[in-house]
Amino acid sequence: MRAEAAAITRESDEALDALLSFGERLSAELFAEALNQGGARAGTMDARKLLRTDSRFGKADPAVEETRVACAQALAPRLNAGETIVTQGFIGADERGRTTTLGRGGSDYSAALFAEALGAESCYIYTDVNGIYSMDPRVVPNARVIREISFGEAAELANFGAKVLHPATLLPAMRAGIRVFVGNTFKPDEGGTWIHAELNERPLLRAIATRDRQTLITVNSMRMLNSHGYLARLFTILANHGLSIDLVTTSEVSVALTVDGTSAGSSGKSILENSALMAELSEIAEVKIEENLSLVALVGTRLSSTPGVAARTFQAVGLDNVRLICHGASPNNLCFLVNSNEVRRVASRLHEAFL
């Protein structure tokens, strides 16, 4: 949608954000009118008067304290008077009053920010699925809805590809200790998933997530032995070409790292097409690029400290096509790469073995 808007306006990111705000603003007016016709006492409030942000158009960062003050002054009195307020997600305004947008997942993020600003006990987010699943049901048809999950586990799932919530959505709720409910807009009576700070039940494995379009870069060089600054030089080259590194493993003479082709900053192009990058990397090491890979992530608790988890995992899927393993950096996950044409089979086997 943003690309289409850019083609229409051929202007700055500021103009694009202003254009993209119209859908949210019109939807709020229509929904408030529908509530009024149903007997509610509803009104609208422009989110740009409440949600303060910096001036990074397209992916603005919220100003939490300024947003809290604005909500306390303008929004809370109307709510306390019994009025139902419909406002917009995704949009805000900088200190000069210019329209900004929060980027991908911005509407859910807005809901959590408003809940934090108002000191709410709960934040309800409704989407097109019944909550957070133990696995994507399109991959594993018998995946089940998780009724309760911790903030840490939900954040790991969101980061590793579960598309129900964007990771940023959880930050305001975690800061304020607000529980979050995720349910289905079209089936509100079927329950959903509650996300809490702490849970009494903490199973070893809670869910499995997958993420496609991963690229593995392996760099080998004897110059890494007993050298200082080699990794810094490597990461500087990658950063200068706009590559955001996801997973990293190292040995004495090699580094293996992944680039996420699904991230917001990804160009979608093959790294092999970037001749300047390949030339710079080749100056410092032997480089191998592997594409068409997918990330598989097991998310739970105590995964790094429970004996036998890795052995049980790879016994279930086989080690033949596993390209990179990342285990121990976080107690909440174990992740690895497989060929993309194998990811459904691998995820299904793991779900059957653990869940």
Homologous superfamily of 121-201: Acetylglutamate kinase-like (3.40.1160.10)
Nearest to 93 by CA among 85, 82, 101: 101
Would you state the pLDDT for residue 184?
95
Q: Give the number of C-alpha atoms closer than 13 A to the C-alpha of residue 44, restricted to the C-beta side.
A: 17
Average pLDDT of each block of 10 consecutive residues along the chain (355 residues)?
A: 53 90 97 97 98 96 98 98 97 97 92 98 94 90 92 87 81 95 94 89 86 90 78 88 85 86 60 86 89 91 78 78 76 87 90 86
For residue 3, the model assigns a pLDDT of 57
Q: Architecture of 208-354 per CATH?
A: 2-Layer Sandwich (3.30)
Rounded Cα distance, 129 and 145, in Å? 10
Could you tell me the pTM of the whole model?
Answer: 0.83
**Which residues are CB-contacts of 145 (< 8 A; sequence separation ≥ 6)?**
130, 131, 132, 133, 134, 191, 192, 193
d(C-alpha 170, C-alpha 146), whole Å: 17
At residue 94, the pLDDT reads 97
The CATH number that domain 1-119 falls under is 3.40.1160.10
- For residues 335 and 100, give the distance between their C-alpha atoms in angstroms, rounded to a whole number: 35
CB atoms within 10 A of CB 132: 24
Give the residue ranges of DSSP H helices in the chain: 2-9, 13-37, 64-70, 76-80, 106-118, 151-159, 167-176, 230-240, 275-284, 309-317, 343-354
- Half-sphere exposure at residue 110, Cβ-oriented, CA atoms within 13 angstroms: 26
pLDDT of res. 183: 96
Burial class (CB in 10 A: 0-12, 13-18, 19+), 243: buried
Written as one string, the DSSP assignment of 47-85 is GGGT-BB-S-TTSPPB-HHHHHHHIIIIIHHHHHTT-EE
Domain with CATH 3.30.2130.10 in the chain: 208-354
Q: Where in the chain is CATH 3.40.1160.10?
A: 1-119, 121-201
Residue 19 is given by DSSP the state H
Calculate the CA 213 to chain-centre distance.
15
Supply the pLDDT for residue 316: 82
Task: Check: CB of residue 164 under 8 Å from CB of residue 132.
Answer: yes
In three-state secondary structure terms, 117 is helix
Find the helix packing angle between 13-37 and 2-9, rounded to 10°: 120
Answer whether 217's CB lies under 8 Å from 207's CB.
no
